[in-house]
Chain A
Amino acid sequence: MRGSEIRNSEVELQQFQTRVGIAGFAVLIAFGLLAVRFLWLQVLQHDVYQAKAEDNRISIVPVTPNRGLIVDRNGVVVARNYSGYTLEIYPRRVKNIERTIDDLTEYVDITTRDRVRFRKLLQETRNAESLPVKNRLSDEEVAKFAANRFRFEGVEIRARLFRQYPFGDVGSHVLGYLGRINTQDQQKLEDEGVGANYRGTDYIGKAGVEAAYEAELHGTTGFEQVEIDAAGRGIRTLSRTASQPGNNLSLELDMRLQQVAEIAFGDRRGALVAIDPSSGGVLALVSKPGFDPNLFVDGIDPQYWAELNGSIDKPLNNRAISGLYPPGSTIKPYLALAALETGKRRPSATIFDPGYFDFGGRRFRDDKKGGHGVVDMYKSIVDSCDTYYYHLSNDMGIETIARFLGPFGFGSKSGIDLAGEFAGVLPSPEWKMKRFAKQPAQQKWFPGETISIGIGQGYHSYTPLQLAQAMAMLATGGTMYKPRLIAHIDNPRTGEHRELPSEVLHTIPLRRDNVEFIKRAMAGVNKEGTSQRAFAKVEYSVGGKTGTAQVIAIKQGEKYEEQKVAERHRDHSLYIAFAPVDSPRIALAVVVENGGFGARAAAPLARTVLDYFMLGKVPAGMDQPAPEIDSGNEEDESD
């Protein structure tokens, strides 16, 4: 019994030891399996995981470039950058945004406007990392918040560059403004393949030169390799590729001239374009009313935006390139030139003006009751005789008129480097066919319609830019330049200087004596004609032509009486001019909306502008050349 027990236990022990052996072998296999796994991960797949670990820890942080400056032709800075502190909320890191803002008011002055603007930003930009709730913090606010920042998870102070326009609303339609990049902008950037260069950039040019030259102004975004931890906090910078600042733009524009013109407008609506006829450089481009582009910089507050957008005055529309006006009598010098060039009239040929012109049973009235009597071509321009041009246009016919006016740029886009230019309408039978394609009854051109074309009424509608361009072309004797706002572009780092050459669009072979005759007649307008009062005692030679454009049609047989007509239905006042007469340095066109007779509103305005340009005469009310805005640290140069 005892023996069997021992034997039994010996068998058991043997069995146990076998199983221990099996277990040991299993352990070896299992550890071997692990070793194979480690070999796979750490040797065979090492590169893959190495890359993943690097991806994990290294974050590419964009370094936003400084936007290029914009200066005028004299080097006066008209758009610059300044650095300021903003209080930014990271929406994804904040649980209750409204509560957080409430708490922040304890340390930072956050107005209702700031709140409204922030809410709008939040709605519009869904994927933004951070959004500013308050811009331009004072040093005191920065200090106060910094001391309490531990209380605000997801709220941080950031130093940012802001765009600033020292002249405020002066030149606003030329400069345009910056706005936050919205979804459409983003899409456009992606389509253009420059999306990566806009990482870290929140603002983009939305209008004017800021938009047209966005690619030049923006610069190249730099990148920093930052080691981050799992929570995304930056630990240290590993490498840095500096950003390249945007190029500086030098405008053809003379900001002082622009300012003079805008002050001359006062509260009146309208537009002015002044061009250097020898190059196409735009010296001044006014559209009134304007807006203060500085207000767009921080994200415009909705109330002001609604005011701008909803205003009957349409301050956001650039009238100089998109406002369409009938040229009125400013068309007459061109028609006279057309008649000379086509041989339809000699300058000395006269008509008798009884004060009206009867055609097809209709009576076309002259502005002057009783008429101008005997009128030759010189007098027709100087006194702006309508009847002369009723005859003239009837004799020439619409086809000839349209063929002659077309090369002067009437009814076609000038190609100026601004977005939103309108083409206007140069009336012709072909145009009418197309215009009324769906109303066959109205497609036919009636000879009677040609008559009012002669005095710049009817279907004519042109932009002030086109009027100025035509003026410049006449002043040069037949050369049409492409209008341009930018003279040269400079790279602030390399010093590379790029002139934008003036570009001749086309020339027309005009006879020199014909051109001289028209120019002399236009000089006569200012000496002894319709605008002689506006140009009394003028100290330089200047040619001009007044124009008055009807806003509402006056029934035949009815006299236009200003007092009876609502302000917005009054005639537009137009004026075109060039100076000096012999070798013109400036050509301009002015439209004063509802300003009445051309001689009354537009001509004196042009006089003010020309006086400044020709003589440096500064009008009253313009003592400060450039209103300096307190800007803290300026950041004009870039690293």
Chain B
Amino acid sequence: MEIARVPVRRIGARLAEGIDTTLLVLMLSLSMLGFLALFSASYDTPSRVASQAMNLGVALAAMWLVAQVHPQTMMRFAVPAYVIGLAFLVAVALFGDVVNGARRWLHVGVTRFQPSEMMKLALPLMLAWYFHKHETSLKLRNFAVSALLLIVPLGLIARQPDLGTAALVGAAGFYVIFFAGLSWRVMGTIAGLGIVSLFPLWGMLHGYQRRRVLTLLDPSTDPLGAGYHIIQSTIAVGSGGLWGKGWLNGTQAHLEFIPERHTDFIFAVFSEEFGLIGNIVLLVLYFLLVGRGLYIAANAATVFARLLAGAISLMFFTYAFVNMGMVSGILPVVGVPLPFLSYGGTALLTLFIGAGILMSVHRYRKLVQT
């Protein structure tokens, strides 16, 4: 017995090494809520729950692996990841598959994937690396270069067109630049210019993108078309009330009024069944998660680590905010999954790898004297 217990404990200790319990508990709590909602949404396809459990397993393994990697080592991957990502994006623009009018997918062997997903981590990685390199002599010029590094992939993604991902990738990049210390004056100027440029930008938008924005402003103008998603999900949220209709009792979800109820709109299912109380719990969990990430960033050892950790933390926030805002009808419908709750392997993988990076940053927060 004694003999058997020792290796088990040692393996357990090895597994726990570098894992931030706070982060893990928060993420697993969110995932559990996700399983509840997914189970409810998958009354017709129960296999989805099992499939998501598998995704979670893979994501956890990836997180563990990444958590073992020293941030110093990660820096070496920054440039190649960014360049490869960029190459993929160019390839998509040239040879990608068109699905639903958007060219987003790239065939690699037997499977296909969205290179834009990869950019969600590759871009902050690259920018964090860049600022780390020029840590000592940061000038406005460096910010200009970083902006260029940001705009090129952003433009390619927006061209696909995939406005949602472009916004998220852009946000991730911006967070790095923000944490790197871009002066408020410059940010103010850019924001001002941005607002002014909204008008010509409006003219460049695709028809469906414009409609999405317009139906956001008044969904009832197109109740059976573009407004349908927002109207139905808002009804689901609103009819949930304070305590919710109870698990598995959501009528909007179970009678198929909620579109994409497993993925982008799973929050509607959750919110209908668990009500305001459930939503507050969810918000608190996200806030704690983001807060923990920002805490890790604030205590990080290097510029690279702190910029990366800060950007990743705010990415978690961005996903959660944009998705919940969209489902509850205050943001336009963009294809953003709800972190840890939406069904889908890729998004989960990205999130847990991001968490792995945070854990690694936390683990190596003290500058090691070599």
Contacts and interface: CB of A to CB of B under 8 A. Distances in A.
B219 interface: no
B256 A43 contact: no
B317 A27 contact: yes
A42 B241 contact: yes
Interface string A1-25: 0000100110011011101100110
Given A35-B283, A42-B242, A53-B235, A20 B256 contact: no
B354 interface: no
B255 A41 contact: no
Interface string B251-278: 1100111000000000000010001100
B317 A30 contact: yes
A46 interface: yes
A383 to B, nearest CB: 83
Nearest to A32: B283
B240 interface: yes
A436 interface: no
Contacts of A27: 287, 290-291, 294, 314, 317
Interface in B38-88: none
Contacts of A46: 238-239, 241-242
A227 B232 CA distance: 17
Contacts of B303: 9, 12
Nearest to A24: B294
Interface string B329-357: 11000000000000000000000000000
Given A20-B310, A42-B240, A53-B251, 5 more contacts: A9-B135, A31-B283, A53-B239, A56-B251, A56-B252
Contact of A20 (B283, B286, B298, B317): B298
B248 interface: no
6 tightest A-B contacts by CB? A49-B238, A53-B239, A229-B255, A41-B238, A230-B256, A42-B276
Interface string A270-292: 00000000000000000000000
B237 A49 contact: yes
A56 B254 CA distance: 12
Interface string A46-60: 101110110011000
Overall SS of chain B's interface: helix
Interface residues of A, number: 40
B231 to A, nearest CB: 8
A370 B267 CA distance: 109
Contacts of B238: 41-42, 45-46, 48-50, 52-53
Contact of A230 (B255, B276, B325): B255
Overall SS of chain A's interface: helix
Given A20-B179, A37-B330, A53 B252 contact: yes
Nearest to B302: A9
Contacts of B283: 31, 34-35
Nearest to B175: A23
Chain B interface residue bracket vs A: 35 or more
B319 interface: no
A39 interface: yes
Nearest to A5: B136
Given A27-B314, A27-B317, A38-B328, A56 B179 contact: no
Nearest to A57: B251
Contacts of A19: 178-179, 181, 310
Contact of A50 (B175, B179, B239, B313): B239
A312 interface: no
A231 interface: yes
A374 interface: no
Contacts of A56: 232, 235, 251-252, 255, 257
A437 interface: no
A53 B236 contact: yes
B136 A20 contact: no
B116 interface: no
A20 B255 contact: no
Contacts of A215: none
Contacts of B235: 49, 52-53, 56
Given A8-B136, A42-B241, A56-B235, A28 B275 contact: no
Given A49-B237, A57-B255, A38 B136 contact: no
A50 B328 CA distance: 15
B102 interface: no
A13 B300 CA distance: 10
Contacts of B255: 56-57, 227-230, 235
A41 B279 CA distance: 12
A487 B351 CA distance: 83
A34 B135 contact: no
B179 A39 contact: no
A231 to B, nearest CB: 7
Interface in A308-352: none
Of listed A24, A48, A227, residue having the most chain B CB within 10 A? A24
Contacts of B178: 19, 23
B237 A20 contact: no
B146 interface: no
Contact of A38 (B237, B310, B321): B237
Nearest to A51: B239
A261 B179 CA distance: 105
B299 to A, nearest CB: 9
Contacts of A38: 237, 271, 276, 279-280, 328
Contacts of B241: 42-43, 46, 50
A9 to B, nearest CB: 7
Contacts of B310: 16, 19-20, 23
